[in-house]
Amino acid sequence: MTEKDELMETESATLLSTYARNPVVFVRGDGVRLFDDDGREYLDFLGGIAVCAVGHGRKEIADAVSEQMRTLVHTSNLYYTEPQVRLAQSLQSLAGWGRVFFGNSGAEANECAFKIVRRFGQNQGGADKFEIVSADNGFHGRTLATLAATGQPAKQARFQPLPAGFRQVPYNDIDALHAAVNPDRTAGVILEVVQGEGGVIPASPGYLAAARRICDESGAVLIFDEIQTGLCRTGSWLGFQSSASTVEPDVYTLGKAIANGLPLSACVAREPVASAFQPGDHATTMGGGPVVCAAALEVLRIMEDDALGAAATEKGTRLASALGGLSGVSGVRGRGLLLAAELHDGDSKAAATAALENGLVVNPVSPTALRFAPPLTVTDDEIDEAVGILSGVLA
């Protein structure tokens, strides 16, 4: 038995069967490239699912984390720590408003959003104002509450009954959203600027503005789930800033890219929603600890210094154009460096498997489409190389 076979056998005996893993053992990363235990090189055009935004193996982040590890790792959130406060200050500057709660995962950030929105809604409108409206095909997490907000019945089916107070409407359907939002019952609306796990589906022109208007008219809080789209992925710091007519939410959530692979997320709320929380209303033991916050501060510095928002727009345009020119691709959608290529033959799983075998990491985001979310540091040559691999696969 090889070491890889032994590792896979041990995995199946020791870990819960929650992932259908690909038969590759990655041991190292460098920039946009991954290396397996046989020394084989891969172009990573998934980026850990839009997580490794500034690339693998960044010395600056490793140094920041190492220094913080030697200084202070954990105190709990019963005390002040400087990295957390400085990171909150940096996030506040992105939109120019908001107070922050730090968690460990995107689902936790959305849980925080639901709780603060319910608290605010009931403070304003009474006990019945607690419902959250979300969109079909959206994705907001795997906890019971975030799963209830996730508009994908196949993911929900095995875990019924889910918590009450959540309902879905078709994405990009303004009339359906208007009909679902009730001034007496709806506390909030949560939407993705681009539905990531739902197939990389961007909001249609005018949809987010209509959601803002509907929420204003009904007294509901507008939440944008920016866990996959935030932090330069779509061409600006935040996905809702990427359109010609910026629509601002009352609450937004971040995760994935914020610490380039370390567990950190954030829920950012503006006034008066932010003041709905009082001490004891919400908490986490390890969220926003010094080490992950030190990493995130370095990530934000790199993104700013290297103008990675502009890079995402420029490189995304190049990648989308190249993908659109492949004979096996019927269409490309998305924003910045969050893209999906719709395939003529509709078998994205087979295409992703073949791409992996040929040294390209992508994933089947839907049965008929491949998702591309490479590090924002990707070069023109790496884009051309990846598209060349995919061209051979589709041929």
Catalytic residue among 139, 166, 224, 372: 139
Catalytic residue among 45, 166, 225, 250: 225
Give catalytic status of residue 139 as yes or no.
Answer: yes
Give catalytic status of residue 347 as yes or no.
Answer: no
Catalytic residue among 129, 166, 256, 315: 256
Please give the single-letter amino acid code of residue 187: A
Give catalytic status of residue 155 as yes or no.
Answer: no
Catalytic residues: 139, 225, 256
